[in-house]
Structure 1
């Protein structure tokens, strides 16, 4: 009867070593939020010939990856201002 000269334990140890090399040591860090920029038009672009509207936020809101706190005044397009007011993010005027 023939015997196998290798042991299964050595094969299992090699698989563990290979899997340890394939896994990164740490997960990538979450990008930090950007600070609110100087007053500028935020959100969707303005249509040609339309003036921006100033809104005051009633709640925390993130637009394009930038966090804005309550009370922040932003310049946005009129249709975006209406959507913000309808969803409760901007104060009613």
Structure 2
């Protein structure tokens, strides 16, 4: 009688035996936290950075910000964002 020298693979787990625990993720925060470091163009040493709240999606330096995000920017950059409609009044 011939014998098979190939090792036998373990049986696949039965789907019915898998855990039925429900995994939930925490709900996203209603408003993203403020950014501690200024973003965008460099802030002049003579001017203090200002905090603005974005009214639209905006990407600065490769980072995407959602509406309602509060970011710290140079005063000149804040004026440009206001003129373009990215900042809430």
TM range (shorter): 0.5 to 0.7
Q: Give 2:77's aligned residue.
A: 80
CA-atom RMSD, angstroms?
1.8
| Cα distance in 2 between the residues matched to 1:45 and 1:75 | 11
The size of the alignment, in residue pairs, is 57
Q: Matches of residues 53-92 of structure 1 in structure 2 within 5 Å?
A: 53-92=50-89
What does the per-residue CA deviation read over 1:40-85, in whole Å, with 9 as the maximum and x for residues that have no partner? 1000001112100110000000000000000000000001000001
| Cα distance in 1 between the residues matched to 2:34 and 2:52 | 15
Q: How many Å apart are 1:37 and its aligned residue? A: 8.9
Q: Normalised by the size of structure 2, how large is the TM-score?
A: 0.59
Q: Which has the higher helix share?
A: 1
Stretches of structure 2 that go unaligned for 5 or more consecutive residues are 1-32
The secondary structure found in structure 2 opposite 1:55 is strand
Stretches of structure 1 that go unaligned for 5 or more consecutive residues are 1-35
Q: Which runs of 4+ in 1 moved over 6 A?
A: none
